[in-house]
Structure 1
Amino acid sequence: MSTNPAEEEAKLRKFNFTRILNQDTRTKTVNLLGEIESTPAILIAEKTAFNVVGPHLTKFSHDLHLPKVSLTGRNDIYHWFLASQSSDYGEVKLTLIFPATETHIRKYTHQQLRMVVETPEIYKGLVKPYVEGKRGNGRLDWVYNILEHKAEKESIIAEDTDDEEGFILLPDLKWDRKTMASMYTMAVVRRRDITSIRDLKKKHVPWLKHLRRRIPEAICQKYSDIEPDQIKIYTHYQPSYYHFHLHAVSISHDGGLGQTTGKATLLGNLISWLESLGGDEETGLEGVELTYFLGEESELWQGVFKEINGKGKG
């Protein structure tokens, strides 16, 4: 068997693509079936990791003018770019958060995870006041900019203008808006009285069913390459921001921790959960015990659950 580099490269360049066998949007890997001189061959392509040596990253930030960089969207402190292919970096999605707060820094810092149990008492006494504090001081301005058409209007996929049941559906910043296998959209509801699943009650079930029907319909009307049963719709607890919203994602896309147990709840399961609760129409999830994970750098861990979990170790 030849080990001559030139011969092996020549062999690679004879690869004739036939079809895609598989792709992983999480690891940025694609498995290709083809032929080399009429013999079946498989080519596995994977995007490499960034070089995290300090000087290289400094050069990266200074050299952003070298590849073609196009602004794909902006809302408040969030700016989104796409840097086209270059010999050094390839195609890169760039998100600029500026100015960044300490909360942002904590969120995007690598951290250990901890499981926590949030009882109704802990929620009402400690977590709910924290949530209410996070809704003030302009923290949700970027959400209201979307709802009021002050930002991202050109990106809207679909809109329902009803004050109670309405929503705006638009691409999530995690999606390149081209690759349907990694399709990632976000539905921001118009009503402002729901912060998270904790505020949902049995009376909200018809509204949630409306969202479960309308969101896939809107996506499939916009994009012909996906069908309703290839879309998963879920919400987070705890969410990144406290205005109720849903994520509608291609079922083939691996979204990492954001789609795992302890973070994401499928909309269909959420509806069934609410329907199964006893009591009247005002009964809701404020009175149930929830188990989920937090990062050790998060304010909720530092300010609430670190002490609670510590007491439980005795």
Structure 2
Amino acid sequence: MSSPTPEDLLRQFKFSFLINQDTRTKSVNLLGTIASAPAILIAEKTAFDISAFNLSHFPAPALLPAVALVEKNDIYHWFLASTVSGVRTADALAQGGADVKITMIWPATEAHVRKYSKQNVRMVEETAEVYRRCVWPYVQAKREGGRLGWVYNILEGKAEAESVIVRDDDPVEGFILLPDLKWDRKTMASLYTMALVQRRDITSLRDLKKRDVPWLKRLQANIIKGVCAKYPSVEPDQLKLYIHYQPSYYHFHIHAVSVTHDGGMGQAAGRALLLGNVISQLEWMGGGEEAGFADVTLTYFVGEESELWQGVFEGLREKRNCEEAAAVEDGVVGDGMAA
């Protein structure tokens, strides 16, 4: 008996809860099950190419008569779909008939549910000491147990090979550039690509040192060159390259997107750092070639449902509040005694 296709699995999804809705991106995050295992569906409206699309024909939400798999990698599946009854074939979807993108995560973990659920966010201050003592163990744990398997699948050519824009297998200089699955691959105003470096010794911004500046500059130039060669209508100064901190996964990667793309929280201060600014900061750091971001204080936001907040920063916040309260009480008592 043949295994069910990703499309079959998608049709088996049983809805449990709406865990988030974003009217800006016109997306919904649904929690449910597939074959009794937790699953998350992230459905969003694709960007409209207004040069070829009549906005007066905007379709009303309905059941999806057509679904086509775009890519599959480990537990992640990406689909194009249509709410229009006349669009029923994969070819029609690929040629512009899709009006919905769907990301399916199956089986989904509790960490996935937390990540995609609506939550409050907090600004945190991560000193070099807090990073080394508290955050680095968290990063190490996140890299264990095959959590980066889907990244290595791409680097090793086992997944998304047909989507690759640039492949350079040099273990030091190399990188893989490919379209991000958030992008419909047609609308240049929302162009979104990602570069995964071949090096496996850099987990995040924290591992970058002054000695990495020449490498980062070459990487920056080659990413821009690759994007512009693949999409000739895009000019170098129409791209912005940035790094996330904290990143979603701990293998160093760079986002290269259209300057007109609205990435919401993903491009907000407290999450995204422009690559050019990172390079400049490293160049001006004192302390020799080994100086780097491991030695500085970084301020960013985290969600209250994240493991990083609940496992690290919430406890640090409570400890700080207790210490401040004790200091105030000691000051009051001291003043009274002095009087």
TM class, shorter-length: 0.7 to 0.9
Q: CA deviation at 1:84?
A: 2.7
Which residue number in structure 1 is paired with residue 295 of structure 2?
287
- Match 2:181 to one of 167, 173, 182: 173
- 2:208 equivalent to 1:200: yes
1:271 aligned onto 2:269: no
Give the match for residue 82 of structure 2.
Answer: 84
Residue 270 of structure 1 aligns with an amino acid whose one-letter code is V
Q: Partners of 1:150 and 1:179 in 2: how far apart?
A: 27
**Structure 2 partner of 1:116:** 124
Compared with structure 1, are the counterparts of its residues 100 and 47 closer, same or farther at alpha carbon in structure 2 (3 Å cutoff)? farther
Q: In structure 1, how many angstroms separate the alpha carbons of the residues matched to 2:292 and 2:59?
A: 46
Give the C-alpha shift of residue 311 in structure 1: 3.3
Q: Which amino acid aligns with 1:210?
A: R
Q: How does 1:130-145 map to 2 (within 5 A)?
A: 130-145=138-153
Aligned residue type for 2:77: H
Unaligned runs of 5+ in 2: 1-23, 27-44, 88-97, 326-339
Report the counterpart of residue 313 of structure 2 in structure 1.
305
Residues 293 and 48 of structure 1: CA distance in aligned 2, closer, same or farther (over 3 Å): farther
Task: Tell me how far apart the structure 1 counterparts of residues 59 and 131 of structure 2 sit (CA, whole Å).
Answer: 43
Aligned to 2:134: 126
* TM-score, structure 2 as length reference: 0.74
Aligned pairs, how many? 268
Structure 2 Cα separation of the partners of residues 286 and 88 of structure 1: 55
Separation in 2, partners of 1:240, 1:32: 32
Question: Could you list the per-position Cα deviations for residues 143-172 of structure 1 after superposition, in whole angstroms to 9, with x for gaps in the alignment?
Answer: 000000000000001112221011000011
Residue 312 of structure 1 deviates from its aligned partner by: 3.5
Establish whether residue 102 from structure 1 lines up as the match of residue 110 from structure 2: yes
2:223 corresponds to: 215
Relative to structure 1, the CA distance from residue 81 to residue 44 in structure 2 (aligned partners, 3 Å threshold; closer, same or farther) is closer
Write the deviation string for residues 10-34 of structure 1: whole angstroms up to 9, x where unpaired: xxxxxxxxxxxxxxx957887989x
CA shift, 1:44, in A, is: 7.4
**Kept after mapping to 2: 8 A contact 1:26/1:253:** no
Aligned to 1:249: 257
In terms of mean alpha carbon deviation, does 279-288 or 241-250 score higher? Answer: 279-288
Alpha carbons 1:198, 1:285 under 8 Å: kept = yes
Change (3 A) 1:194 1:158: same
- SS in structure 2 opposite 1:292? strand
* 1:234 corresponds to which of 228, 238, 242: 242
> What SS class does the counterpart of residue 312 from structure 1 fall into?
helix
- Kindly state the Cα deviation for residue 224 of structure 1 after the two structures are TM-superposed: 1.5
Contact 1:26 1:254 survives alignment (8 Å): no
* TM-score, normalization by structure 1: 0.80
Higher relative contact order (CA 8 A, sep 6+): 1
Query: 1:172 and 1:109 mapped to 2: Cα distance?
Result: 21
Structure 1 residues 227 and 101 mapped into 2: Cα distance closer, same or farther (>3 Å)? Answer: same
C-alpha contact 1:31 1:44 (8 A) present in aligned 2: no
Identity %: 61
Considering only aligned residues, what root-mean-square deviation do their CA atoms show, in Å?
2.5
